[in-house]
Chain A
């Protein structure tokens, strides 16, 4: 079952949340961030090239222009491959674990998988950063202390959705996590 909804992030940009319910024990949430805009790309390139041309008129060395082109290309490739995240996906599988995937604009995907045995809970936390923002995070169990928390893993860090989107994801995750905490019905 697939479902798509439109939300906004904390800066006001548009986000698209795609939900896929594969089975009662497996769900996937896919948040698409706003794509790289042509306007900002053109602005940055023009600035760099104007600065390089200014430097060229000063020192009369054409190497400056080639270097500027080289730097712009490398910078763009580096930005697309290491910085710009297009999509963030959360896959939650009952009794296996939770998987977070970030896909970059160049196609690179970076995945982290956390086993269900380590997950204590999925909660929405409040943070104060110039204003109050909410973020969804996974609490990991502490192997030493049974009721302690060893680590907090924040989710959707580059998409940064608002509270309404987070509540939808939170409710779905809790439905699946409830299976873990349900007391045994037989035996």
Chain B
């Protein structure tokens, strides 16, 4: 990663670039007892039972003495230190810089106190100087942090100038120091996200509560971190970027190239979508076929995703950015896996082998079906069938299979060519190849589907006839107008014919039911295989790989919360805590950033499925998008 230091013009620092001289300590004005608060936090109200928490960046722990700059959050009695301003400085320029940062980021940045990093013996003049600064930059409460070089223990003092009403409380608060890694807190994103900051009101207070306020403050104060120590500004700051602003040449090049590439790809994609929305494809046979093929569904889904990824609009919030990145990575992985599959298929002439094996397999399946039908026409499982009906149904289905085998043999010279071209489509992605496989299975088992439909319709008719005649036995009738069962008086000849028909249907029921059962099971087997393939396609489509990779390599970016660790502690010195980022668990990452899938999953519950099977209603295992609800 190359280090590129940003131009000072970008830092937006004050125009005065002349060498500044610090004011000598004796020129500091005298201490004024009650100075007017300027730039201090509006609500200096305090919850007396709260300990004062000072959030201090770990990068400033070794910085030289100076002023503490940051934000005071009165509701939690916490001071978030963002940077340290070093000597020499001119107070007017510091105030100008803070005003600029406040305007740019809408965060109430102010001078919070002083920071003293002693090298040798404590210097008396420095001590007085630091105290005198409290008069120039007044803030309630005024923090004074001090550290001996080489010592692990710090001293913190927070003083208030307001005269306490109750004589029992002193002017000093108890202070707790919490260290945080500024870079990690800046880059991380809390889940669940805190309330969005108030953009319209334009005021500095964020509506984030608790520790989210700390994250929010650091994230929005980017304007403060833009200058590093190589910039010739009037004010010398120390923060996480002060050793050199982080940047990468590759990232900058990518950002510059992204604009024209996105434009070009958007044009191409819009051409493709316009071509696919052409009137010709909306004619009835073609539109019906397109809606049934899962390949078209998958291609449409991918086209939508690519349009979103390459759109020229910038992402509005981090969630959208993650979604775009996830989609891009998913598409790239898909294409990579597809190319691997393609290379595997074309090696050692596997396509030829596959084509040679396809016809014998289809023949074998047809033969097995014929055996099954012969078995049904005999005495299957010891049950006694009605001979006539059995023969009729058996011969009907056998003739179908004969037609099917003839059709397959007609197609056999073209199979290899078709397979070769279909194999090429794997370069569009593994999901497209799997969808094509699922469609091929559906086409090859079309005769099973037909048999299932015949058997189901026959069985359904029988069941309705039986239920209607059963009602006749009991002297009832179905009232279509009122949609309920009503009593009805039948004539004698109606009852006689009804009973006759009922007997016939009852005795023919086992035969029809058996055929229905066998073909439904076959159909369910085919549906299960197709369902598994669709599940795999869904998995590749919806897994958020970019987020998972981010969680693996940069866990601080996705934060579920924070965790604290107590550092060295000694009685008498203030408590030192280290705040670290608690990363999100993998299951939560997948749950939060899942991409929306095609939606091709079963819409029936198990209960309704069983009910439909019992009554012989046709089941459509999945609904494609655009199908009307039955």
Residues of A within 8 A of B (CB): 22-23, 25-26, 28, 91, 93-96, 99, 101, 111-113, 115, 117-118, 179-180, 182, 184-187
Contact B575 A112 (CB under 8 A): no
Whether A179 contacts B49 in the complex (CB less than 8 A), given A22-B569, A115-B210, A115-B211, comes out as yes
Q: Which of B51, B166, B575, B582 is within 8 Å of A111, CB to CB?
A: B582
Which residues of B are found within 8 Å of A113, using beta-carbon distances? Answer: 561-564, 582
Contact A26 to B48, CB < 8 A, known contacts A95-B53, A185-B169, A186-B164: no
Please indicate the chain A residues that have their CB under 8 angstroms from the CB of B164 in the complex.
Answer: 186
The digit string for B43-78, where 1 denotes a CB below 8 A from any CB of A, is: 001111111010000000000000000000000110
Give the residues from 154 to 194 in chain B that come closer than 8 angstroms, CB to CB, to chain A: 164-166, 168-169, 174, 176, 178
Q: Is the CB of B575 within 8 A of A23?
A: yes
Question: Which residues does chain A contribute within 8 Å of B569, judged by CB atoms?
Answer: 22-23
Give 8 A-B pairs besides A25-B176, A187-B46 with Cβ atoms closer than 8 angstroms: A95-B53, A96-B53, A96-B564, A101-B563, A117-B76, A117-B209, A118-B210, A185-B169
Contact status A96-B563, CB under 8 Å: no
- B19 interfacial by beta-carbon distance below 8 Å: no
For the complex, is B277 an interface residue (Cβ under 8 Å from A)?
no
Classify the interface of chain B: helix, strand, loop or mixed.
loop
Check A186/B48 contact, CB under 8 A, given A93-B577, A95-B53, A96-B53. yes
Cα(A182)–Cα(B531), bound, Å: 62
Is there contact, CB below 8 Å, between B77 and A95? yes
Pick the contact of B48 from A93, A94, A115, A187 — CB < 8 Å? A187
Residues of A within 8 A of B566 (CB): 22, 26, 28, 91
**Contact: A180 with B49, CB < 8 Å?**
yes
CB nearest to B209 among chain A residues: A117
Q: How far is the CB of B192 from chain A (nearest CB, A)?
A: 13
Please give me the residue from chain B that is nearest to A25 by CB atom: B51
- B165 contact from A25, A91, A94, A186, Cβ within 8 A: A186
Report the separation of the CA atoms of residues A144 and B397 in the bound assembly, to the nearest whole angstrom. Answer: 66
A99 to B51, CA, bound (A): 17
Q: Which residues of B contact A93 (CB under 8 A)?
A: 176, 564, 575, 577
Q: List 22 A-B contacts (CB under 8 A).
A: A23-B574, A25-B174, A25-B176, A26-B575, A26-B577, A28-B566, A93-B176, A93-B564, A93-B575, A95-B50, A95-B76, A101-B563, A111-B582, A112-B582, A113-B562, A113-B563, A117-B76, A185-B166, A186-B48, A186-B169, A187-B45, A187-B46
Closest 6 CB pairs of A and B: A111-B563, A184-B48, A115-B210, A95-B50, A186-B166, A23-B575
Contact status A187-B49, CB under 8 Å? no
Question: Whole-angstrom distance between the alpha carbons of A179 and B50 in the complex?
Answer: 8
Of A23, A96, A184, the contact of B47 (CB 8 Å cutoff): A184
Residues of B within 8 A of A96 (CB): 53, 176, 178, 564, 577
Which B residue's beta carbon lies closest to that of A114? B561
Interface pair B575/A184, CB less than 8 Å apart: no
Contacting pair B51 A94 (CB below 8 A): yes
A69 CA to B53 CA, complexed, in Å: 54
Distance of A148 Cα from B165 Cα, bound (Å): 35
Q: Which residues of chain A are near B176, meaning CB under 8 Å?
A: 25-26, 93, 95-96
Residue in A closest to B572 when the chains form the complex, CB atoms: A23
Bound Cα distance A185, B566 (Å): 29
When the two chains form their complex, are residues A117 and B575 in contact, meaning their CB atoms are under 8 A apart?
no
Residues of A within 8 A of B209 (CB): 117
What is the bound-complex CA distance between A26 and B210, given in angstroms? 18
Cα distance A113–B560 in the bound complex, in angstroms: 10
Question: Which A residues lie within 8 Å of B47 (CB)?
Answer: 184
Residues 506-530 of chain B: 1 if any A CB is under 8 Å from the residue's CB, otherwise 0?
A: 0000000000000000000000000
Q: Are B168 and A185 in contact (CB under 8 A)?
A: yes
B166 to chain A: closest residue by CB: A186
Instruction: Please tell me which one of the listed residues A25, A180, A182, A186 contacts residue B575 in the complex, with CB atoms under 8 A apart.
Output: A25
Least Cβ–Cβ distance between A140 and chain B, in angstroms? 13
Let me know if B564 and A99 touch, CB within 8 A: yes
A96 and B18 alpha carbons, distance in the complex (Å): 45
Which residue of A23, A101, A185 has the most chain B CB atoms within 10 A of its CB atom?
A23
Contacts of A115 in B (CB 8 A): 210-211
Q: Determine the chain B residues whose CB is within 8 A of the CB of A185 once the complex forms.
A: 48, 166, 168-169
Q: How far is the CB of A101 from chain B (nearest CB, A)?
A: 8
How many Å lie between the Cα of A26 and that of B169 in the bound state? 21
In the complex, A93 Cα to B565 Cα: how many Å?
11
Nearest chain B CB to A119 CB, angstrom units: 11
In the bound complex, residues from chain A placing their C-beta under 8 Å from that of B51 are 25, 94-95
Interface residues as binary, B132-171 with A (CB distance below 8 Å gives 1, 0 otherwise): 0000000000000000000000000000000011101100
A22 contact set on B, CB distance < 8 A: 566, 569, 575
> In whole angstroms, how far apart are the Cα atoms of A179 and B77 in the complex?
14
CA distance A118 to B561 in the complex (A): 14
- Name the distance in Å between A163's Cβ and chain B's nearest Cβ: 28
Residue of B45, B168, B582 ringed by the most chain A CB atoms within 10 A: B582
**What is the CB-to-nearest-CB distance from A87 to chain B, in angstroms, rounded to a whole number?**
15
Closest residue of chain B to A22, judged by CB? B569
Residues of B within 8 A of A179 (CB): 49
The interface residues of chain B lying within 8 Å CB-to-CB of A23 are 569, 574-575
Map CB proximity to A onto B581-596 as digits: 1 under 8 Å, 0 otherwise: 0100000000000000
Q: Would B49 and A112 count as touching, CB distance under 8 A?
A: no
Q: Using Cβ atoms and an 8 Å threshold, which residues of chain A touch B48? A: 184-187
Chain B residues with CB under 8 A of A28: 566
Give complex CA distance A99, B165 in Å.
36
- Given the complex of chains A and B, what is the CA–CA distance between A25 and B52 in angstroms? 11
- Chain B CB count within 10 A is highest, among A22, A95, A113, for A95
CB distance from B590 to the nearest CB of A (A): 18
Closest-CB distance, A97 to chain B (whole angstroms):
8
| Chain B 181-220 near chain A by CB (<8 Å), digits 1 or 0 | 0000000000000000000000000000111000000000
Q: Which residue of A lies closest to B46 (CB)?
A: A187
CB neighbours (8 Å) of A112 from chain B are: 561, 582
A169 to B566, CA, bound (A): 19
Smallest Cβ distance from A151 to chain B, in angstroms? Answer: 15
Chain B positions 11 through 55: 1 when the CB is less than 8 Å from some CB of chain A, otherwise 0: 000000000000000000000000000000000011111110100
B210 and A117 contact, CB distance less than 8 A:
yes
**A184–B564 contact, CB under 8 A?**
no
On chain B, the residues within 8 Å of A184 by CB distance are 47-49
Residues of A within 8 Å of B53, CB to CB, are 95-96
Which residues on the B side are within 8 Å of A94 (C-beta)? 51
